[in-house]
Structure 1
């Protein structure tokens, strides 16, 4: 039902938007976007981690509206709203969520001073992050949701279905910490962000979340610094450093040793570069979370036993984009070192292919090979995930008036 409603709204707004005429570019700017992704997935594990192959059919959709109104020759105010409607058609393990305001925030933008954004939105550290999600085709390659189809969590949890064991066993996503662990503003809390204009090809951004209890963190700060350059019209690059920082949410040192849900201080950074050469894109990024995240098996008087020592990952890829097809190869490897134990590891390779059909639609294929290593498991885990899907992208128009 939700999927049908969103489809109806897409076509309604699409028809209305394309009927608008461009009058005067100095008054306001409106952009409407929407997408639907219908997906079929098939996964199997090569070891005892999964006795049966898993197949799922799922869909997800979103609709966004971006509006800016000029109030001065160099100043605009407006808002951005994105509504998400995950709608799983056939699955036992994926959660069916209600219609949700994914993002909704106000914007004040000045050409010389930069912009301020306030509301429910991603942190600047996530927006400015460079990884292979910027170039991948199809369902996202190693950055996509392929892990919802495969069991990564160890032999002792194979009966619990597919998905990640967040923040305990594997660091499994090539993203900045807030996006991976689910740190985001909830009801009653908002993100305030500042993004500077480009000055000598440099751009800076910072976000602040003034909340006392956000997944055992408080006063979350995300920041990013990027540099954009070019060698010619066909060769350009952008490099960015992003980071996130927060205090663990406890005040008593003794409590930190006895509470298994307490966190180490959050210090996570990522360095990435994206090089565009004609129709090719090359991305390389390296990130480290140190000992950030929830402590594992904290025992009073033995706080170092089971403590996270280091978290790190590498994400790289190459993509070819043309008017007729999109092809990408992406790679991700990560390690999470635990005191008194060996490192938990995850590696994944993905080949992604996407072809356009008509009116903003395309079909795609994704093939992912994954490998995990867990010291407590009797054998290593590996397998494949195959995805095929149909995308409907509605970018009806940027309405300038």
Structure 2
């Protein structure tokens, strides 16, 4: 495939997760291109992957963006239940900033599906992409197109190796949530509540909350009265953005109980993170939310300075309870990932035989971890003996001395 001279950009086409591809009037070529997108390959690398000339490929990508099949930029789609800013027309939300090439960005801005008059590649492709049928299977569409339109043979001089896709780290389950509503907009909601809604009688605010739309619905999330919060949660338009506002700003335990009663909201990472930072979160409610969480998650709360001391104290109690009954794998994960720092909150807590066996099956190279285990009064004798055999301990006399002084150290180590 000879280079036509058309400049292809570094833009990475990505599927739009909010669009059902089966409902779009895609032809065989468009379906074939969609089947080759993995979310990592750049536009300029697609000609070598699809066999299409750059000009033709650019037209296909432009059509896919105009139909909504592809995101117009590198940003992911806005989350569901986003909150409309005060003053914005009803039914509108802020759209993500696009950084796609001009030809693609314009197509995305137009956002008007166009009728295509291009014939389909084959009878199979017509079956897969006929109007009304939609895209049933991208892989079968690619096969249908390839059978009638084999890709041109590529000389070695025409091809370039595709870049390796960068590994995408999985998001931490308890990573800090991205706030749906910017601080400035939250200030507008609070101001709206304080200047217009707070003066209304309580029963009138409750009635308003049942059927309100944004921005009034978001403003009512700042209401200190639990009855109003319950009415907000019963509103059919309420979403995660509103739930996070309540978790972050509501200061009445009764209202927080009503929020957690909604299982979908209680399971949301952002809601939980804001709740544990809420100084009015009841200890009993915290225990219900975190009773079955992993030991590492309990430990993170005990050292998080943004969490109120009352909640951190409850988290330490829950950590000790979970450590005595939790899975051995979680105990090992906690000790190793914190380099033994978590053991300071586990004074007097023994470990079972399986945990000891897992700890003794590892090679230790961290002096900090060895020191913290040496200070752990409940360290099992088998683990102390195992550490004394480690090359790290043999090369550092101070570590060996700390382990030899442990009450559970072997007798021969104490005599040495």
TM-score interval, smaller chain: under 0.3
- Bigger-Rg structure (1/2): 2
TM-score with structure 2 setting the length: 0.22
Bigger helix fraction: 2
Bigger relative contact order, structure 1 or 2, given CA contacts below 8 A and separation 6+?
Answer: 1
User: When you count strand as a share of all residues, which structure comes out higher?
Assistant: 1
TM-score (norm 1): 0.22
